[in-house]
Amino acid sequence: MTTTWRFWLLSGPALTFYALVLLVPLGLTALLSLQTADPATGAGAPLGLHNYAEVLSDSYFLEIFVRTLALALVTTIACLLLGVPEAIILHRMRAPWRGLFLLVILGPLLIAVVVRTLGWALVFGPQGVLGAAGVALGWSREPVSLMYTSAGVTIALVHVLVPFMVVAVWAALQRGDAQAEHAAASLGAGGFTIFRRILLPRIVPGIASGSVVVFSLAATAFATPAIIGGRRLKVAATAAQDEFLATLNWPLGAAIAVILLVGNLGILLAYDRLVKRRFAESFR
């Protein structure tokens, strides 16, 4: 039996499964996005790009896309500001503490996003902790609610996604030589010089990959914007769900989904091409 033969025989079942269950549905969705909504049959001829024209020209959908991108961008920046220092702090911790806190930060990744978001709904809600604290401390007379606001969605998204940033930067720090920092310190370098000359070059690839992961997941997030943002604050993912399950305009929903998919793949592939090649040696 030749190697080639064995290779295709062994990977055949998984590949067949993927062809049937990944490629066919995605192809059908692309086709659906070109069809016209029809109250009787759901979708049909004529074929054309009119759904894309509608989504990309209607101010209602444009607002949703701009909001999605803005939320993803602000979330990414906030994750950078919180995650990068935290990763460096973790890196400088001693053995038992480092492992323990890494577990505390990464563990929530294994808890359902609905559950993590529910916690923020309890904090933000009308009878929530935040509103009560605001009144008790005399910041405001009425309890403030961050439910259905961009600020609320952003905070909850940062909580859900910041572990990805910490882990990316932390992994980048692990790749370097831990002795370099000590050597620099022993040669008289100050804290800022060590950061700029030793840590920063080492973590740039981690920052890049962490940012891409966070941005991509924030821009396509569903549960958190759906629960905290509700119907008042729609993003691309919740808008697509709305077209499919409420408005029942499937072709339009399919067009939103295709735009989301192409945008997401575009960002990930651009990252792969530009950043990974540039920092090729740090990814080995």
CB of 150 to another protein, least distance (A): 18
Query: Which of 75, 170, 234, 249 lies at the binding interface for another protein (CB under 8 A)?
Result: 170
* Helix axis angle, 150-175 to 200-219, nearest 10°: 140
Contact status, residue 115 vs residue 242, Cβ threshold 8 Å:
no
The one segment of 58-66, 67-75, 122-130, 138-146 that binds another protein by CB under 8 A? 122-130
The one segment of 19-27, 55-63, 67-75, 134-142 that binds another protein by CB under 8 A? 19-27
The one segment of 45-53, 61-69, 70-78, 104-112 that binds another protein by CB under 8 A? 104-112
CB of 102 to another protein, least distance (A): 5
Query: Which of 53, 92, 151, 248 lies at the binding interface for another protein (CB under 8 A)?
Result: 92
**Looking at beta carbons only, is 203 or 240 nearer to another protein?**
240
C-alpha span between 75 and 80 (Å, rounded): 9
Q: Identity (one letter) of the amino acid at 105?
A: I
**Looking at beta carbons only, is 66 or 111 nearer to another protein?**
111
CB of 136 to another protein, least distance (A): 13
DSSP state, residue 44: E
User: Cα angle at 41 between 40 and 44, to 5 degrees?
Assistant: 120
User: Cα angle at 87 between 217 and 196, to 5 degrees?
Assistant: 110
Longest dimension (CA), the chain: 79
Structure tokens, 16: 């067949």
The one segment of 45-53, 54-62, 70-78, 81-89 that binds another protein by CB under 8 A? 81-89
Query: Which of 245, 277, 281, 284 lies at the binding interface for another protein (CB under 8 A)?
Result: 245
CB of 177 to another protein, least distance (A): 14
DSSP state, residue 126: T
- The answer to whether residue 41 forms part of the interface with another protein (CB under 8 A) is no
Query: Which of 38, 49, 66, 107 lies at the binding interface for another protein (CB under 8 A)?
Result: 107
C-alpha span between 221 and 242 (Å, rounded): 14
Q: CB-hemisphere CA count at 13 Å for 104?
A: 9
Residue 223: alpha-carbon gap to chain centroid: 12
- The answer to whether residue 101 forms part of the interface with another protein (CB under 8 A) is yes
- Long-range pairs for 110-113: beta carbons < 8 A, 24 or more residues apart: 113/160, 113/223, 113/224
Query: Which of 146, 208, 237, 275 lies at the binding interface for another protein (CB under 8 A)?
Result: 237
Among positions 171-230, residues that touch another protein (CB under 8 A) are 171, 174, 181-182, 185, 194, 209, 212-213, 220, 222-223, 226-227
